[in-house]
Structure 1
Amino acid sequence: MDSYPSEKDLLVALDRCDDLIRACGSGRLSFADFQAEYNDFYWSFALDGHESDQAGQAMLARYASRIAPHQTVAETILAKICSDTDAAHESYRAAGHFGSTEAVARLKLVAECLPGGEA
């Protein structure tokens, strides 16, 4: 059985999504366009390994440092984003949610840690 994703597909997707993070963090891509193109990459590509066989798990482990920033995006940015309207409400902020401006600022920090450097 072939692993999901294939190594080639994984590397192409990582490069593409690294570029999306850089583009949004630098202001070259709107946050709305980032969300549409990024498409919950970490989860949609099953980078947590839940769909991988033993070979796939080994491949994901080899690229763990490349995958880690995308886990950060999934768990600390996309999981916390809310509409800009809702972000103005104290109850949302108190629950740890934030709007697109904060999301872009956080993406910029992630971009600085990607291979190849800054946003």
Structure 2
Amino acid sequence: MVIFESEAHLIDSLGHHDDLIRQCAQGHMSFADFCSEYHDYYAFYALDGHESDEEERVLLEKYEKRIEPHRIVAEEILAGVCSDADAQLEIYQRAGRFGSAEAVRRLCELAALNL
């Protein structure tokens, strides 16, 4: 194992980051605090397995349904966020960018469907 010490470590890590999504979606945490604590989890922990050894890749595959919401957060939410001021500009809107309110709306939707 390269990134996670054990299966229990992966499960605990997923649970903690699931909770961060829920807290933000339920309004118990600001989006700024969420971003700070969530710390681009999917990429930071290489949950796609690109930095893992074979043993860890098997473990990540075992939990791919638990990991999938975090891929969505990374690729479909955090990747599209811009400042709230920039989100008002047409050029950013045309590029598919959005501000924190839309990001939280998407987190709410994700939490309702997947967590």
Quickly name the TM-score band, shorter chain normalised.
over 0.9
Structure 2 unaligned segments of length 5 or more: list them. none
Structure 2 CA distance for aligned equivalents of residues 25 and 41 of structure 1: 17
Structure 2 CA distance for aligned equivalents of residues 105 and 32 of structure 1: 14
* Aligned match of 2:93: 93
- Aligned residue runs from structure 1 range 9-20, under 5 A: 9-20=9-20
**Aligned-pair distance for 1:94?**
0.5
* Aligned match of 2:49: 49
Q: Does the Cα contact within 8 Å between 1:18 and 1:114 map onto a contact in 2?
A: no
Confirm whether residue 112 of structure 1 aligns to residue 112 of structure 2. Answer: yes
Deviations 1:3-60 (A, max 9, x none): 4223222111100110110110111110000000000000011101011111111000
Percent identity, please: 51
Paired amino acid for 1:4: I
Misfit runs of 4+, over 4 Å: none
- Computed over aligned residues only, the root mean square deviation of the Cα atoms, in angstroms, reads 0.9
**Aligned-pair distance for 1:113?**
2.4
TM-score for the superposition, normalised by structure 2: 0.95
Q: Does the Cα contact within 8 Å between 1:80 and 1:98 map onto a contact in 2?
A: yes
* Aligned match of 2:78: 78
TM-score for the superposition, normalised by structure 1: 0.92
Paired amino acid for 1:37: E
Structure 1 CA distance for aligned equivalents of residues 28 and 105 of structure 2: 13
Structure 2 CA distance for aligned equivalents of residues 88 and 3 of structure 1: 42
Paired amino acid for 2:83: S
